[in-house]
Amino acid sequence: MKQKLILFISLLLAFASCGNPKVEQDALPQKTASFRTDVPLDSIILSDPCILADAKTRQYYMTGTGGLLWKSKDLALWEGPYRVADIDTTSWMGSRPQIWAAELHEYNGKYYYFATFTNNSIAIDTVGNNVIPRRASHVLVSDKAEGPYRPMADPTYLPADKPTLDGTFWVDRDGKPYMVYCHEWLQNNNGTIEKIELKSDLSGSIGEGKLLFRASDSPWSREKLDGKTVPNRVTDGPWLFRTGTGRLGMLWTSWIFDVYTQGVAYSESGTLDGPWVQEPQPVTPPNFGHGMLFRDFDGQWMLSAHSHRVDEKGRYIRVPHLFKVDLSGDKLAVDTLSQL
């Protein structure tokens, strides 16, 4: 009788762990209704593409604006999209936030999802004719590169009254982790790039943000304002890297009039504190931007960015592209003829 009871309990436990659909769903990313396989990179419509080359699975994981994820074994053909972001719907984000510029970062054995969340039902400011919604960079976590990614301890990383976006990750020479992000130009009229220290497990922020540089510091970005040509006010898509000589650089994006443009700056101190010196010229062809860097499984450094154009109906069309990059010297060099 005792043996039968033990067998019965064992069967119940097996059913609970193996046959429970909720357990299976929690363990895997969720396919969307538009899921496809063997999709060429240039057939994917995606803004702000960020690619993680995961050594554990030998797969590439690409995410970006929209909160979706694509997977590939060779960078040429992809499958997806999957839903991987599991937010707290009772938080300030609400039940259906917009998700922009998601990034994947591996750190201390876990995977982190840096993204911008916008709740358009909450207004935090009005500047001129622009109503500023609640928008902030935030971090989710997973044990696996493919997710799912879930909230951590702190519901807020950056001030509620400040629209921030495009948060990225960097460990500086002091050994501390930081989020580097943009304070949106729609509120401050001259977009900034700032840093804030993160807790050791990235579950929240420490202290206040610190200014690194402003959009107007760029010698190449331009716009027309009240009939005059002035520096553009947009800061977008920061990404940190080191060159082969140890120099600290930052990719970031703005505009030359109506042309989306990828620039780069370098820190004279070799740390986030700068001062940051802007390169005089863009580093990619016109209408490419929001770049990031990764090394493929053959050791080649690559720049992932999206092309930017407006179709005949006035819709933005953004497609991921890859460029080979040389980081062996003192500056980043993009092979603009190697576009994939």
**244-278 per-position pLDDT tens digit:** 999 999 999 999 999 999 999 999 999 999 999 99
Handedness of CA 5, 7, 9, 12 (dihedral sign): negative
Q: How do beta strands 150-151 and 68-72 pair?
A: unpaired
d(CA 109, CA 107): 6
d(CA 262, CA 253): 5
Contact criterion met (CB below 8 Å) for 53 and 294:
yes
Handedness of CA 280, 284, 286, 288 (dihedral sign): negative
**Ramachandran angles phi, psi of 158, nearest 5°:** -135, 160
| The pLDDT of residue 225 | 93
Q: Which two tokens stand for residue 16?
A: 């609970």
| The pLDDT of residue 187 | 97
| The pLDDT of residue 28 | 67
| The pLDDT of residue 339 | 74
Contact criterion met (CB below 8 Å) for 158 and 209:
yes
Please count the CA atoms within 13 angstroms of the CA of 50 that sit on its side-chain side: 29
Task: Assign 3-state DSSP to the chain and report helix, strand, coil percentages, each to 5.
Answer: 10, 50, 40
**Ramachandran angles phi, psi of 288, nearest 5°:** -125, 145
Residues 6 or more apart whose CB falls under 8 angstroms from that of 146 comprise 28, 29, 57, 61, 69, 71, 82, 84
Cis omega before residue 177 (within 30°)? no
Region 279-294: what's the mean pLDDT? 97
Region 50-69: what's the mean pLDDT? 97
Q: How do beta strands 30-40 and 77-83 pair?
A: antiparallel
pLDDT band at 188 (very low <50, low <70, confident <90, very high): very high
Q: To the nearest whole percent, how much of the chain has pLDDT over 90?
A: 87
Helix (H, G, I), strand (E, B) or coil at 47: coil
Q: What is the mean pLDDT of the chain?
A: 92
Q: To the nearest whole percent, how much of the chain has pLDDT over 70?
A: 92
| Statement: residue 87 has pLDDT above 50 | yes
| The pLDDT of residue 336 | 84
Q: Which burial class, exposed, middle or buried, applies to 243 when counting CB atoms under 10 A from its CB (0-12, 13-18, 19+)?
A: middle
